Amino acid sequence: MKASVIFDSQPARRSCAGFTMVEVIVAMTIGVVVLGFVSVFFVDALKVSLGVTNNLDIENSIRKITDQLSSDAREANSFVIYKTFYDEGHGDGGSFRNPAEDTLVASYRMQAGESGNCCVFVYNGEDLTPLDLSPAPIERIVGYYLNDEEGSEAIEIKRFDIDIPTAQQANAVEDLIPAALQSSQHTVLVESATGLISGDLFYNMLGRSIVINSEIIYDLPSKNSGGTYNFTVSPRG
């Protein structure tokens, strides 16, 4: 009798073992933990990066306004400080543009030891009649003010620079300051700031110098970042 050998033409089947539920849960847990650590790292890194950027922005803003104010003050002949650039918020009622009844325009000027949020530098031309009582002509005015109007979205520091036409150079400085409605046309130097002199930005020191004290504010994702500056400028007289 011959022995018969039977060959199986089907390939051998390999057993494939899958992941158990426990292994899947453990793997997912480890993945979530790792992802959490990575997320915290990136969030912290982002906060540090934004903080550094904001600090640089603050330093640049402080340098910009300090240089600009110092330059304008050195060239000016005099200055006037008002409580605010706008027509509301003056202590005597009315404003330097529209004085209250029986109130002199000069009473809206902050005297030595007083503070306000609007400072105007005055540049005089040559006085052709120095012996009379009329003041020298005003050829130019430069103003800085805190955008403290009620309802403002941001408390900005703004600047205007105006050359005065010859026909108006004999007018009082209050008549030359632009209307409050023109504020939107003025240059924004700092986007968000607050005055630190009893809430004001400018202080009249002895009628000869101006002390500027402010905090510049920038927003971080979780908090505000700010930097203060305090310096003094004096017109040439």
For 100-139, the DSSP string reads PTT--GGGGB--TT-EESEEEEEEE---S-TTSSSPPPEE
Q: Are 54 and 218 in contact (CB under 8 A)?
A: yes
pLDDT at residue 226 in the model: 66
Look up residue 30 and give its amino acid: I
Report how many domains make up the chain: 1
Whether residue 195 lies inside any domain: the answer is yes
The DSSP code for 84 is: -
Residues whose CB falls within 8 Å of the CB of residue 79, separated by 6 or more in sequence, listed in order: 73, 119, 120, 121, 122, 210, 235
pLDDT at residue 192 in the model: 87
pLDDT at residue 60 in the model: 78
The DSSP code for 215 is: E
Q: Are 121 and 143 in contact (CB under 8 A)?
A: yes
Whether residue 25 lies inside any domain: the answer is no
- Rounded distance between C-alpha atoms, residue 112 and residue 209, angstroms: 9
Would you tell me how many other CB atoms lie within 10 Å of the CB of residue 166?
Answer: 9
Closest residue by Cα to residue 54 from 224, 181, 209: 224
Whether residue 131 lies inside any domain: the answer is yes
Give the pLDDT of the chain (237 residues) as one tens digit per residue. Answer: 455 555 455 555 555 556 687 766 776 787 777 776 666 555 555 454 444 555 566 677 788 888 999 999 999 999 999 999 998 888 768 899 999 888 898 899 999 999 999 999 999 998 888 778 788 999 999 999 999 876 565 689 999 999 999 999 999 999 999 999 999 999 999 888 889 999 999 999 999 999 999 988 866 444 455 678 899 999 987
Whether residue 26 lies inside any domain: the answer is no
Phi, psi values for residue 236, rounded to 5°: -70, -20
pLDDT at residue 50 in the model: 47
Q: Are 140 and 166 in contact (CB under 8 A)?
A: no
Residue position matching structure tokens 């003025």: 186
How much of the chain is helix, strand and coil, in % rounded to 5? 30, 30, 40
Domain extent, residue 217, equals: 31-233
Whether residue 174 lies inside any domain: the answer is yes
Whether residue 52 lies inside any domain: the answer is yes
Whether residue 172 lies inside any domain: the answer is yes
Closest residue by Cα to residue 216 from 70, 89, 69, 63: 63
Whether residue 9 lies inside any domain: the answer is no
